[in-house]
Amino acid sequence: MSLKTLLVLLLTPLVGYGQQVKDPVLDGTQGEVFREVNDSVMQPVPKMKGYEFDGPWSSLKFGGGFLYEYAGFSQDEASAQQVNMESNFKVRDFRFVMAGKLKLKNQITWKAGFMYDGQEKKWLMRESGVMFNIPKISGNIFIGRTKEGYSLSKVMNGYSIWFMERLVAIDVIPILADGIKYMGYFPKQHIFWNLGAFTDWMSEGQSFSTYNWTFVTRVAWLPIYQDMTKPVLHIGIGYRYGDVDNDVIQVRSKPEVSGSPYFVDTKPFAATYSNSINGEVYFRSGPLTIGSEYHAHMFHTPENGDELFTGSEVFAAYVLTGEIKPYYSSGGIFGFLNVNRSVFKGGKGAIEALMRFTNLDLEDRLVKGGDMWRITPALNWYMSNNIKVSFQYGFTVLNRFDLKGETNIFQSRVMLHF
Read off the amino acid at residue 237: I
- Ranges in the chain, pLDDT < 50: 1-20, 37-46, 48
pLDDT number for residue 124: 85
Tens digit of pLDDT for each residue in 319-374?
999 999 999 998 899 999 999 999 999 999 999 999 999 999 999 988 999 999 99
Burial of 177 (0-12, 13-18, 19+ CB in 10 A): buried
Q: Are 399 and 360 in contact (CB under 8 A)?
A: no
* Pair 194, 218: CB distance under 8 Å: yes
The residues that bridge with 380 in the sheet, in sequence order, are 352, 390
* Res 334: pLDDT: 95
Of 369, 365, 359, nearest to 295 by C-alpha is 359
pLDDT, position 205:
64
Half-sphere exposure of 66 (CA within 13 A, CB side): 5
Q: What is the number of alpha carbons within 13 Å of residue 225 lying toward its C-beta? A: 26
From the list 107, 105, 106, 104, the residue with the least C-alpha distance to 24 is 107
Q: Is the pTM of this model over 0.85?
A: yes
Task: Give CA–CA dist 328/136, Å, rounded.
Answer: 20
Query: Quick check: 381 and 349 in contact, CB under 8 A?
Result: yes
* Amino acid at site 160: S
Q: What is the pLDDT of residue 39?
A: 38
Strand 59-75, strand 177-186: pairing: unpaired
- What is the model's pLDDT at position 48? 46
pLDDT of residue 153: 95
Task: Report yes or no: 176 and 206 within 8 Å, Cβ to Cβ.
Answer: no
Residue 1: the pLDDT is: 43
Which pLDDT belongs to residue 12? 41
Contact 115, 94 (CB under 8 A): yes
